[in-house]
Amino acid sequence: NASSLKPHVAFLASPGMGHITPLFELALRLLTQHNFQVTFLVITTDSTVAQYNYLHATPHPDLHIVDLPPADMSGLLFDDMTAVARLCVIVQESIRSLRSVLLSGLKNRPKLQAFIIDIFCTGVFDACKDLSIPVYSFFTASAALLAFSLYLPTLDREVEGEFVDLPEPIKIPGCNQIQTHDLLDQVRNRKIDEYKWYLMHVSRLSMATGIFANTWHDLEPVWLKALEIEPFFADIPTPPVYPIGPLTKRIESASDGNADTKEVMAWLDRQPKDSVLFVALGSGGTLTNMQLTELALGLELSQQRFILVVRTPSDSAFAALFTAGVDSDDPRGYLPDGFVERTKEVGLVVSSWAPQVAVLNHPSTGAYLSHCGWNSTLESIKHGVPMIGWPLYAEQRMNATMLSDEIGVAVKMPVVGERGETVVVGRKEIEQVVRVVMEGEEGRKIRKRVKELEASARETLSCGGSSYEILAGVAESWKRQGCGMTTRTCI
Ligand code: UDP
Successive 10-residue mean pLDDT values, the chain, 491 residues = 83 92 97 96 82 88 94 89 91 93 83 96 91 95 96 94 96 93 96 96 94 98 87 68 96 71 94 98 91 98 98 79 66 96 96 93 98 98 98 96 98 92 96 98 98 98 97 96 59 55
Say what the pTM is.
0.95
Residue having the nearest C-alpha atom to atom 14 of ligand 1? 283
Give the phi and the psi of residue 63 in degrees, each rounded to 5: -110, 120
Q: What is the pairing mode between strands 305-310 and 347-351?
A: parallel
Out of 283, 286, 399, give the residue to mutate to test ligand 1, the one with the largest number of ligand atoms within 8 Å of its CB: 283
How confident is the model at residue 2, as a pLDDT? 66
48 lines ligand 1 (CB under 6 A): no
Ligand 1 geometric centre to CA of 323 (Å):
12
Ligand 1 geometric centre to CA of 411 (Å):
20
- Give the whole-angstrom CA distance, residue 132 versus residue 148: 30
Contact 319, 405 (CB under 8 A): no
217 lines ligand 1 (CB under 6 A): no
Indicate if 118 belongs to the active site: yes
Give the position, in ligand 1's atom list, of the atom nearest the Cα of 140.
19
Ligand 1 geometric centre to CA of 375 (Å):
7
| Active-site annotation holder among 8, 46, 118, 383 | 118
Give the position, in ligand 1's atom list, of the atom nearest the Cα of 353.
8
Q: Give the C-alpha distances (Å, rounded to integers) separating 446 from 381, 409, 452.
A: 11, 5, 10
What kind and span of H or E run contains 366? strand 365-370
Burial zone of 180 (CB within 10 Å; 0-12 exposed, 13-18 middle, 19+ buried): buried
Out of 356, 392, 398, 403, give the residue to mutate to test ligand 1, the one with the largest number of ligand atoms within 8 Å of its CB: 356
- Its sign, for the CA torsion 159, 162, 163, 165, is negative
- Give the whole-angstrom CA distance, residue 106 versus residue 66: 10
